Amino acid sequence: MSGPLSRLSAWRARRCARLGAAAARTEAPDGGIGAEAPIRKASEDRLRRADFANRIGGVLSELSLREGRVFAIRGGWGFGKSSLKNLITERLDATNEGADWLDFNPWQWGDGDAIARALFSQIADRLRGEHSKAALARAAALRRYGEILTGTGAPLKEAGSATHLISTVLTNASVIAVASAVGFDLPAAAKIAATLAVLSVGTPLLGRVLSHLGRDRASDPLDKIREALEARLRELERPLVVFVDDIDRLEPEQIRLLLRQVKANANLPNIVFVLLFQPSIVERALDPVADGDGRAFLEKVVQASFDLPAVPASIVHRIFTEELSELAGPYATEANGFTQTRWGNAFVGCIQPLLRNMRDARRLISSIAVHLPLHAAGDVFEVNIVDFLLLEALRVFEPDLHEALFRERELLLQELRFLGNGRRDEDRAAAGRLLEIVSDERRDIARDALKDLFPPLEWAYGGTNYADGFRLKWLTAKRVCSPRFFPRYFELQTAVGEMSERRFVAFLDATATEDGLAREIADIEADGLLPSLVARFDESVDRLPVENAAVLLRGMFGIAQKLAGDRDADPFNSPWLSAWRSTHWFLKRIPDDVRGGLALESLRQTRALSVAALLIHLNDPAEQAKGADDAFDPALDLKTVEAMKAEWLRIMRGRAAEGDALMAEPDLLSQLYRWRDYTGSLDEPRAWMNEAIRSDEGFASMSTRMMSRGTSHSLGDRVSTPHNTFNRETIDNFIGIDVAKARCDAIDPAQFPVHEEALRTLRRFLERWLGLKERDPFDL
């Protein structure tokens, strides 16, 4: 094929290659999670490098080469070398007279020999792309030349030389098979012998083929082969540009072998190598073969270098903020802890300095994209958005520090500092050790990030010493420095037994109707989240919708009553405490003119005796005077208090008349004393008690209800010891010491297995109170 047909074939080959590259460029850029793919076309260029790429493409297209060239595109990891290469190839494809090009990535080929063979093979494939006679001859010449340099024929030659031995073995085996066939099935033996004989004849033929393919071409004159190759390469109408990317990802030995091949073939006509690498890595790899001066060695290989234009950090930061706004913008609200001032301080002081290039920006954006949905539900964000973004920056750029933070909860949250744990010096030293995890150059950034994220520890870094009163503010803002939210940032899910922010918002929305609220409370109770719900009431009372007070207050009465019997938790921080305290605070937010009526109606509807009694106590001037509290600030007026007492007595007497209904009251003993106080006499509660304990079963049940269960912990114990008690005054007031003793003596505790422990304990206490038995000094 020659003349016009040859030129037409060459044009078609180049057109097919360019169409393939153009098709790749028309694909949507990969902007997904984890994407670090370089850009493919100028329309994606956000670093304004298109003009620089066009200039390099023009240089490569204008070359008229009698000898090849080696150029370099130099830049650090993540600074856009591959993106620049793609812009250059787009320029080459857009020019009718532009150079042909080949993209070779050595990183995917394994060891050094494989890389060298692949390089020659891909160049040869590209040269034969026209399918003309001349093109095929050029490709064959280059392959032959490459085989000599890389020694690929040796294995075939060795295989061919071994076939004589194989043939001899097979021939002997066929004779043995025939000789052994005497007395056996001759047809079967004959088949075996014939097969072995055919193999013995065919193996030498195969060996000669392998020997021919693998003959030692090194014996051919290399100069002659190269001279013929150069002559054919000079016939190219345009140079072939071979882009060799990701050199700096290779092992040092692979880098040296690849560059030796490039250096050896740098002057092949119409072949231009463009090497892409980070200089420091390649120079270090060349040091061992260059007397410690890898840079000088590299200068002998590369004729000209194109250094990546500097990218202002402001551009990287601008692009990052644009992508972040698209990703996290919907959650940048005050409800999610976002303020322009705090975000600006965190971004400028702690995140911007970590974003050196677009790869850094993409890594952080990808991490945010992975973890953000785990905290998001609709427009609700489970944690503080600024804290989340700061911690993601530490996760990506300082993973060792991020991992250490979860282990150092006690240090970071300083939960014991306000109890006077006396560890100030130790905590300051531990805070310093956290910073030692980080490199010196980033230590100031890490310090600022920790001060921002964990204000309770800021004092240890020379900052503000915050008082305990700030904890509620941090809790309301869903900060990582609050004990409730700290695990959420690291476990990436709501802790077991905790209510998510999304569900709390759903609860607040449900307070608009009685049916909706009832369903929501039932679902929350079924999931065991009532304690978490009342804790959220306590922490976020200002978020409770006053406009729905007629519905919500009744719901809060009912919820509090369900938790009234929960006395096993910390009495200073129990769900019951949170329930009645938040109800009292919510009452204060309801307008005065409707507050009393809603409180009284809530008691009537819910019959919640325990929470009502506490609200009466908190708002009764007579009871508060006993404590001489000058800061008395009632939520209910005296008229409402008296009305609630009357309603409380009506409900209490009704329960008492219902048989065992009052016995099931969760706060029974406390209610009996309220009954005494509101009537001014023990007569009614004591009469009810006499009726309740008339039977042995009733007395046994009452013994269990009146027993207090606790634990004791002696010095050196690793676990607590159960410790059950009875209050002498309570027994005397409602039953009578002598009556209780007589009833205990008349009952066999073994007959009431459920109450046996309470009966035996009560008997022991009664004997001690009556002086019938001395106190055991070891009985705590």
Residue with tokens 């009292």: 584
pLDDT of 171 reads 47
Q: Is 517 inside any structural domain?
A: no
**207-227 pLDDT tens trace:** 554 445 444 444 556 677 778
**CATH number of the domain within which 287 lies:** 3.40.50.300
Q: Is 516 inside any structural domain?
A: no
Assess whether 442 and 564 both reside in one domain: no
| CA separation, residue 737 to residues 425, 755, 770, 779 (Å) | 56, 19, 8, 21
62-66, 200-204, 319-323, 623-627: which has the highest mean pLDDT?
A: 319-323
pLDDT of 582 reads 96
Q: Is 511 inside any structural domain?
A: no
Q: Among 164, 182, 215, which residue terminates a domain?
A: 215
Cα 189 to Cα 172: distance, rounded to the nearest angstrom: 14
pLDDT of 81 reads 85
Assess whether 668 and 701 both reside in one domain: no
- Domain holding 209, by residue range, is 156-215
Phi, psi of 28 (to 5 degrees): -60, 135
Average pLDDT over residues 11-36: 50
Average pLDDT of the chain, as a whole number = 83
Assess whether 21 and 132 both reside in one domain: yes
110-114, 499-503, 594-598: which has the highest mean pLDDT?
A: 594-598
Would you say residue 56 has pLDDT above 60?
Answer: yes
Q: Is 633 inside any structural domain?
A: yes
724 bridge partner residues? 709
Q: Is 39 inside any structural domain?
A: yes
Cα 40 to Cα 59: distance, rounded to the nearest angstrom: 20
Cα 456 to Cα 411: distance, rounded to the nearest angstrom: 9
User: Would you place residue 32 in the very low, low, confident or very high pLDDT band (cuts 50, 70, 90)?
Assistant: low
Closest CA to 240 of 125, 107, 83: 125
Give the chain's radius of gyration (CA, Å): 43
125-134, 431-440, 569-578: which has the highest mean pLDDT?
A: 431-440
Residue with tokens 């007031």: 733
Average pLDDT over residues 696-705: 95
Assess whether 679 and 705 both reside in one domain: no
Assess whether 379 and 290 both reside in one domain: no
Assess whether 122 and 246 both reside in one domain: yes
pLDDT of 370 reads 93
Q: Which of 18-22, 88-92, 178-182, 345-349 has the lowest mean pLDDT?
A: 178-182
Q: Is 504 inside any structural domain?
A: no
Largest CA distance in the chain: 129
pTM of the model: 0.67
User: Under a CB-based contact definition with an 8 Å cutoff, are residues 271 and 260 in contact?
Assistant: no
How far from chain centre, in Å, is Cα 682?
A: 62
Cα 422 to Cα 98: distance, rounded to the nearest angstrom: 76
Cα 38 to Cα 54: distance, rounded to the nearest angstrom: 17
Q: Is 46 inside any structural domain?
A: yes
Average pLDDT over residues 10-27: 49
DSSP conformational letter for 438? S
Would you say residue 624 has pLDDT above 60?
Answer: yes
Cα 410 to Cα 392: distance, rounded to the nearest angstrom: 21
Q: Which of 178-182, 505-509, 627-631 has the lowest mean pLDDT?
A: 178-182
Cα 416 to Cα 651: distance, rounded to the nearest angstrom: 44
Assess whether 701 and 674 both reside in one domain: no
Q: Which of 352-356, 647-651, 674-678, 707-711 has the lowest mean pLDDT?
A: 707-711
pLDDT of 206 reads 52
Cα 599 to Cα 304: distance, rounded to the nearest angstrom: 86
pLDDT of 575 reads 93
Would you say residue 29 has pLDDT above 60?
Answer: no
266-280, 351-365, 414-428, 517-531: which has the highest mean pLDDT?
A: 517-531
| β-pair type (721-725, 240-244) | unpaired
Closest CA to 140 of 121, 158, 117: 121
Looking at residue 691, its amino acid is E
User: Would you place residue 79 in the very low, low, confident or very high pLDDT band (cuts 50, 70, 90)?
Assistant: confident
pLDDT of 716 reads 61
Cα 112 to Cα 145: distance, rounded to the nearest angstrom: 18
Residues near 377 by Cβ (< 8 Å), separated by ≥ 6?
Answer: 500, 501, 502
Would you say residue 445 has pLDDT above 50?
Answer: yes
88-92, 162-166, 461-465: which has the highest mean pLDDT?
A: 461-465
Helix (H) or strand (E) holding 55: helix 50-62
DSSP conformational letter for 617? H
Residue by residue, what is the 3-state secondary structure of 131-190? CCHHHHHHHHHHHHHHHHHHCCCHHHHHHHHCHHHHHHHHHHHHHHHHHCCCCCCHHHHH
| DSSP SS3 for 269 | coil
User: Under a CB-based contact definition with an 8 Å cutoff, are residues 298 and 281 in contact?
Assistant: no
User: Would you place residue 16 in the very low, low, confident or very high pLDDT band (cuts 50, 70, 90)?
Assistant: low
Q: Is 501 inside any structural domain?
A: no
Q: Which has the higher per-residue pLDDT, 44 or 630?
A: 44
Closest CA to 298 of 275, 320, 325, 330: 275
Q: Residue 530: exposed, middle, or buried by beta-carbon count in 10 A (0-12, 13-18, 19+)?
A: buried
User: Under a CB-based contact definition with an 8 Å cutoff, are residues 133 and 173 in contact?
Assistant: no
User: Under a CB-based contact definition with an 8 Å cutoff, are residues 396 and 363 in contact?
Assistant: yes
User: Under a CB-based contact definition with an 8 Å cutoff, are residues 613 and 671 in contact?
Assistant: yes
**382-403 pLDDT tens trace:** 999 999 999 999 999 999 999 9
User: Would you place residue 323 in the very low, low, confident or very high pLDDT band (cuts 50, 70, 90)?
Assistant: very high
Would you say residue 444 has pLDDT above 90?
Answer: yes
Would you say residue 778 has pLDDT above 60?
Answer: no
Assess whether 445 and 553 both reside in one domain: no
Assess whether 461 and 323 both reside in one domain: yes
What is the share, in percent, of the chain residues with pLDDT greater than 70? 79
Domain count for the chain: 5
Assess whether 105 and 253 both reside in one domain: yes
Would you say residue 618 has pLDDT above 50?
Answer: yes
User: Would you place residue 363 in the very low, low, confident or very high pLDDT band (cuts 50, 70, 90)?
Assistant: very high
Assess whether 226 and 278 both reside in one domain: yes
How far from chain centre, in Å, is Cα 88?
A: 38
pLDDT of 753 reads 95
User: Would you place residue 11 in the very low, low, confident or very high pLDDT band (cuts 50, 70, 90)?
Assistant: very low
Q: Among 287, 307, 327, which residue terminates a domain?
A: 307
Would you say residue 27 has pLDDT above 60?
Answer: no
Q: Among 257, 291, 307, which residue terminates a domain?
A: 307
Alpha helix locations (H) across 527-574? 530-539, 549-562
pLDDT of 593 reads 94
Assess whether 230 and 131 both reside in one domain: yes
